[in-house]
Structure 1
């Protein structure tokens, strides 16, 4: 996996061997930005209080913070690719459960449970990719590679994640 002996091909500091990971980060964060634009209001429109809606986001944020702390260690133990796959699969499964049983069933317990677990899943994907970056680029390429990580993250959540809801 680690080909540091060979010069990693890059474009403006973007390691091309990790291109699809960067695309995935942008897509993941676009979804997060899209969701942030309307989910709180949707939860209150279902009949829950603003405090309940805020609590769901607080649980999500706490789970995401916990996963961010754990993700690097987990990526080192099971490999970044496996940690990313685990995060992606968990996110998909718990997103469906959140939509069907939480929001679809108007069940606050399931909203909290499944949205919280889903909040745990996405940092596993995102921050395990950082470990993959560090393991797959030369030390002189880490800074620009991390710059691209934060660029794709920001373009996803801040640009596309905010712009797409304005079209719908």
Structure 2
């Protein structure tokens, strides 16, 4: 159906902005419109993708908690469906992605600060290099404060405290 394809194409294009491949986005769109869980073979047939590409796409969507494996009595193949709670999917997606980025960046910055402090405290270091090391330490410490703020924001997603400020139901009483 054309209307479904329009939405599936839009989902695929927008998910690409978040680091999800267009093929995984199309797969998500297919599962969104499906009235029943689908096997990899079902999805392969519908989208015309290779089984390897399909498997990779499903795995990435599973890791992001956007789809889930379901069990159906009498079915021997793995079945998949989307998670219906889009709000929770949003929380899961961003907390997974942001925590990973913050952890990676924070670790690199903390190691750099340690090395820069050693350099700044070394009597053999020239005055120019010492001054630059102190400037760099300050920049990195400021960025670490930003990451701490991001961690608190992510915490508010995980605990759903964010909903106290931006409720899901926007209807006026």
Bigger Rg, which one: 2
Bigger helix fraction: 1
TM-score, normalised relative to structure 2 = 0.30
